[in-house]
A and B are shown apart, each in its own frame.
Chain A
Amino acid sequence: MSAGAPTRATAFVASRTPSRDESRRFSADDAFALALRIASLAVLAAVLLLVWQTVRGAAPALHAYGPAFLTGTEWNPVAERFGALPYVVGTLVTSAIALLLAVPFGIGAAVFLSEIAPPRTGAVISFMIELLASIPSIVYGLWGVFVLAPFLRTLVEPWLIKHLGFLPLFQGFPFGLGILPAGLVLAIMVVPTVTSVSREILRALPDSLRGAALALGATRAEAIGVTLDAARPGILGAVILALGRALGETMAVTMLIGNTNHMSWSLLGPGATMASVIANEFTEAVGKLHLAALFEVALVLFVVTLIVNAVARLIVLTATGGRRDVAGAA
Chain B
Amino acid sequence: MSRERPDAGMQKLPAGVHWTRRVGNRVAIGACVLATAIVVLPLALLIVRLLESGLRDLSLDFFLHMPKPVGELGGGMANAIVGTLIVVGIGAVIAVPVGVAAGVYLAEYGRERLTTVVRYTADVLAGAPSIVVGVAVFGLLVVPMGRFSALAGGVALAVLMLPTIVRATEEVVRLVPASYRQAALALGAPSWVATMRVVLPAARAGVTTAALLAVARASGETAPLLFTALGNRFWTTRVDQPIATLPVMIYDYARAPYSDWNAQAWTGALTLLVLVTVLSALMRVATQRIR
Contacts and interface: CB of A to CB of B under 8 A. Distances in A.
Interface of A: 1-7, 9-10, 12-13, 16, 27-29, 31-33, 35-37, 39-44, 46-47, 49-50, 53-54, 56-57, 104-109, 111-119, 122, 125, 127-132, 134-143, 145-147, 188, 191, 195, 203, 207, 217, 219-222, 224-225, 244, 247-251, 255, 275, 278-279, 282-283, 294-295, 298, 301-302, 305-306, 308-310, 313, 324-325, 328
A6 B109 contact: yes
A2 B101 contact: no
Contact of B117 (A44, A131, A305): A44
Contacts of B36: 108-109, 112-113, 117, 125
B227 to A, nearest CB: 5
Interface in B224-268: 226-227, 230, 247, 250-251, 254-255, 262, 265-266
Q: Which 6 A-B pairs have the closest CB atoms?
A: A248-B129, A108-B35, A136-B220, A3-B110, A309-B127, A39-B101
Interface stretch (B6-14, B57-65, B66-74, B75-83): B6-14
A250 B139 contact: no
A248 B46 contact: no
B132 interface: yes
Interface string B259-286: 0001001100100110011001100100
B42 A283 contact: no
Contact of B108 (A3, A57, A207, A282): A3
Interface of B: 1-5, 7-8, 11, 13-14, 17, 21-22, 24-25, 27-29, 31-36, 38-40, 42-43, 45-46, 49-50, 53, 97-99, 101-102, 104-111, 114-115, 117-118, 121-133, 135-136, 138-140, 159, 162-163, 166-167, 171, 173-174, 176-178, 181-182, 185, 188, 190-192, 194-196, 199, 216-217, 220-223, 226-227, 230, 247, 250-251, 254-255, 262, 265-266, 269, 272-273, 276-277, 280-281, 284
B127 A195 contact: no
A138 B118 contact: no
A82 to B, nearest CB: 16
Contacts of A222: 21, 24-25
B191 A9 contact: yes
B272 A43 contact: no
28 contacts: A5-B108, A6-B108, A32-B196, A39-B105, A43-B121, A43-B122, A46-B162, A54-B132, A109-B32, A112-B33, A114-B1, A116-B33, A119-B1, A125-B36, A129-B43, A134-B216, A135-B43, A138-B222, A138-B269, A139-B272, A139-B273, A146-B254, A219-B24, A222-B25, A248-B132, A250-B129, A309-B126, A328-B167
Contact of B251 (A31, A54, A138): A138
| Prevailing SS type, chain B contact patch | helix
A16 B102 contact: no
A13 B135 contact: no
A37 B114 contact: yes
B259 to A, nearest CB: 11
Contacts of A279: 131, 223, 226
A250 B131 contact: yes
If over half of A's interface residues share one DSSP class (helix, strand or loop), that class is named, otherwise mixed; here it is helix
Contacts of A143: 45-46, 49-50
Contacts of A145: 254
A248 to B, nearest CB: 3
Contact of A33 (B109, B188, B221): B109
A298 B284 contact: no
Contact of A324 (B14, B21, B110, B167): B167
A114 B216 CA distance: 28
B121 A44 contact: yes
Contact of B136 (A50, A115, A119, A313): A50
Contacts of B230: 283
A135 B227 CA distance: 22
B125 A46 contact: yes
A136 B34 contact: no
A37 B191 contact: no
B116 to A, nearest CB: 11
Given A129-B39, A220-B11, A282-B227, A39 B102 contact: yes
Given A32-B191, A219-B21, A255-B254, A116 B121 contact: no
Nearest to A255: B254
Nearest to B100: A39
